[in-house]
A and B are shown apart, each in its own frame.
Chain A
Amino acid sequence: MNFSIKGKNEKSYDAIVIGSGISGGYAAMELCKKGYKTLILERGRNVEHGQYPTANLDNWDLPNQNRVPQEEVKKHYEKQDRLNWWLREDNKHWVNKDDEYPYEEIKRFDWIRGHHVGGRSIMWGKHCYRWSDIDFEANGKEGVGVDWPIRYKDIEPWYNYVEPFVGIAGQAEGLKQVPDGIFLPPFELNCAEQDFREKVAEVYPDRIITPGRVANLSEYNPKVHLGKRGQCQTRNRCWRGCPYGGYFSSQSATLPVAFETGNLSLRPDSIVSEIIYDSSTNKATGVRVKDANTGEEIEYFARIIFCNASTVGTTALLLNSRSESFPDGLGNSSGELGHNIMDHHYGMGASGVYPGFEDQYYKGRKPVGFYIPRFTNIDEASSRDDYRRGFGYQGGINRIQNVPSDAIGKDLKENIFKPGPYHLGMTCFGEMLPYHENKMFLDFDKKDKNGMPLITFDAELKENELKLRKHGVECAVEMLEAAGCTDIQSYNSLTAPGACIHEMGTARMGKDSKTSVLNKWNQMHDVSNVFVTDGACMTSSGTQNPSITYMALTARAVDYADREVKKGNL
């Protein structure tokens, strides 16, 4: 991947994509493949595939046992480190410093991100689960938020289209709540995990323990996995960036393929401050960019614009694009822009010692454990009176250090080089409903160093989420008990919205332009040549990790935009 000089000089393109993360990279690739001269703008620095400074370091090569000293946390990462588990020496170059990129909170919101080419596609969790009609129909059936304008049949072909390229290791289970996809061989359950699957199935046949479905190449096929991909080496260091291209990221997959077409210009360090709107044509004509290094302001023009700056980034940009026609932000005639912000919530689950299997072990550090798809409120039999929607789990069973409680001295030393008992940990991930009053907005009285108004969050989990959490913990404990675990411990520590790094919903899709920002093609109701295909488009949050759905919606939206261009409508 090379920085394109052309991108600096030419001002007009067929398409502009704002943001180079998981959905922006996909949008750019699809546009380029269809022959569109495409400019992709990224506000952060350039990162080329392979520029992963910590990828090959062992923890003893890293400072402070990979922990970031408190002094540094206090200075730069006070908000970014509130998660406890995220910020480390091995990934801190992918994490924004709070003092450089401030945001405001009326209520705590963990907005975790980094400004660089590839965005969070470098650090994502890689889990990929299809949504089903249980998700797409829920809002409409329950009268929550607005109805999704699409159903599974609309997106299914596009899951089929993106999954082989993304490369998802997983196991078909025939479940209605997470439909099977096109899978590579799974990262199999280890002996203890397989036993857990069987033991739980005996007592709770509707709770399926399946290998997590992840975008890691368990079987590399160069004909399908184009770009810079390669076989997953099971190092489980994905978040640092993978020199083998073992998992899907913008760097390893979409951007190199887009560059190969000859149609892509990438311009890093380009902060898009607003989208330029022309009221005479009722279309966007381009974008206004500030060069992050020089401060120079430049305008770029294009026929179609894809917003993929992330749920929060895209919405901030739209809210900042004010004109006589759209005084409250571009495409915001509904007044919903910035509202209905969602995330998944977690911090609840259980752990315990898994008995047995001392004679068995595993080889390799697979980049995923098990997944337990949602099993409540998926049909009549599983319906609940106490809460709507559901939750899934991610977890794993691994052998921990062997430190018998009564050993010390030479006796202890004889033990510690051997593998210890199996330990099971699983965390519950719950759906969060869309609430109009949960929102983000811009504080125009406060500006960051680039002159951008400060993003302000005002969102919280509510009663439905709290009740769901309680049941999530109970079910986790039940499963560990069914498997005969010992020392079962459960926990339920409320997370703030944003903490799951699955923020979505601030420019939702809907059937009615009065209550939603986007139509069923991720196209703005108000401005037909602007598309939003990142998490902002989501009408509900589901329980599934969302990225694969963003990718499917993106490919679908590009295909639609292309057809509209060819029809002369765009």
Chain B
Amino acid sequence: MNRRDAIKYTSLMTGTAVFPTVLSSLFASCNSNGVKNELDYHPEFFELEDFKMVTSLVDIILPKTDSPSASELGVHRIIDHMVGATYRPDERESFETRFNLFAKYLKTKGFKEGSDEEKLDILIGIINSNDPALNEVKSGFQEFRQLTVAFYLSTEEIAENFLNYLPVPGPYQACINVEEVGNKAWAI
């Protein structure tokens, strides 16, 4: 792993050091706000137009494969609800600033009108760009991507069916071979 990767890996962890409560809640799960029907959902944080883009974004980031897509699990709603209802005012403001820059860029690239392939290309373009002018857009995107993954992994569906879910582990084993658990991450 190069240094740039390392930074990205840990961007979500910054400042959260050692408290297990922080770690667990940071990567904790969320139900999808109790709303089943997409049409009944009224975004708490995003403007309606942006929320449509968010819905599309989470699925470009995590599309349906043999596991569900992000929007199938309500990840877009979770992001909206968490930012809208639980972020502190300063957290919300700083998220908003970065997201708006990112969203504005996507609009200039015609993201909304594009096909899924074109949308993916736009995002890959951001990832691969070395243009310093795109730094803020990039960090807005990386934050959004991290949130998408974190909330996706902490849904009950993924935790219980695609990760190693072990609610009552019993005695601790400090070092095991990762193959013993199929190279799969612990769900909680």
Contacts and interface: CB of A to CB of B under 8 A. Distances in A.
Ranked nearest first, the 8 interchain pairs of A and B with the lowest CB-CB distance are A405-B8, A65-B30, A60-B29, A364-B169, A59-B28, A425-B17, A188-B174, A364-B172
A351 B67 contact: no
Contacts of B17: 349, 351, 395, 425-427, 491
A403 B8 contact: yes
A67 interface: yes
A189 B67 contact: no
A201 interface: no
A400 to B, nearest CB: 6
B1 interface: yes
Interface string B14-51: 11111111111101111100000000000000000000
A127 to B, nearest CB: 12
Contacts of B184: 417-419
B78 interface: yes
A363 B18 contact: no
A349 B13 contact: no
Contacts of B171: 218, 231, 234, 364
Contacts of A423: 9-10, 13
B111 interface: no
Nearest to A64: B86
Contact of A70 (B12, B13, B88, B152): B88
Contacts of B3: 486-487
Interface string B150-163: 11111110010011
Interface in B61-109: 61-63, 65, 67, 78, 81-82, 85-89
Nearest to B4: A405
B132 interface: no
A184 to B, nearest CB: 12
A361 B181 contact: yes
Interface of A: 56, 58-71, 84-86, 88, 91, 187-191, 194, 218, 231, 233-236, 239, 349, 351-353, 355, 358-367, 369, 394-396, 398-406, 408-410, 412-413, 416-421, 423, 425-427, 486-487, 489, 491
Given A58-B167, A486-B3, A400 B60 contact: no
Interface residues of B, number: 82
Contact of A360 (B87, B120, B178): B178
A234 B24 CA distance: 14
A411 to B, nearest CB: 10
A264 to B, nearest CB: 32
6 contacts: A60-B30, A70-B87, A236-B24, A405-B8, A418-B185, A425-B17
A410 B177 contact: no
Contact of A362 (B60, B123, B174, B179): B174
B145 A408 contact: yes
A425 B86 contact: no
B124 interface: yes
A117 to B, nearest CB: 22
Contact of A190 (B88, B174, B181): B174
Given A235-B169, A362-B172, A365-B20, 10 more contacts: A59-B28, A65-B86, A70-B86, A86-B21, A194-B175, A363-B172, A367-B20, A405-B127, A409-B120, A410-B65
A286 B159 CA distance: 55
Contacts of B183: 418-419
A316 B117 CA distance: 67
Looking at B12, B149, B155, B184, the one whose CB has the most chain A CB atoms below 10 A away is: B149
Contacts of A487: 3, 6-7, 9-10
B134 interface: no
Contacts of B174: 187-191, 194, 362, 366
A129 B123 CA distance: 51
Given A60-B30, A233-B169, A416-B153, A360 B146 contact: no
Nearest to B7: A487
B142 interface: yes
Contacts of B21: 85-86, 88, 91, 239
B173 A364 contact: yes
Given A361-B178, A405-B8, A69 B1 contact: no
B89 A70 contact: yes
A369 B18 contact: yes
Contacts of A420: 9, 185
Contacts of B5: 404-406
Contacts of A410: 63, 65
Contact of A427 (B18, B156, B163, B175): B18
B133 interface: no
A400 B10 contact: yes
Nearest to A169: B172
A562 B7 CA distance: 60
Contacts of A418: 183-185
B153 to A, nearest CB: 6
Given A359-B178, A410-B63, A417 B85 contact: no
Looking at A64, A65, A364, the one whose CB has the most chain B CB atoms below 10 A away is: A65
A353 B25 contact: no
B62 A412 contact: yes
A408 B23 CA distance: 24
Contacts of A353: 1, 6, 9-10
A414 B149 CA distance: 12
Contact of A59 (B25, B89, B149): B25
A85 B22 contact: yes
Contacts of B14: 351, 489
B53 interface: no
A85 B19 contact: yes
Contacts of B128: 406
A417 B14 CA distance: 22
Contacts of A403: 8-9, 12, 145-146, 149
A398 B86 contact: no
A464 B170 CA distance: 44
Given A190-B174, A408-B127, A421-B1, A66 B18 contact: no
A60 B185 contact: no
A413 B162 CA distance: 11
Contacts of A234: 169-172
Given A400-B9, A409-B63, A486-B1, A65 B172 contact: no
B56 to A, nearest CB: 13
B73 to A, nearest CB: 10
Looking at B17, B22, B82, the one whose CB has the most chain A CB atoms below 10 A away is: B17
Nearest to A493: B15
Contacts of B78: 65
Nearest to B152: A416
B82 A402 contact: no
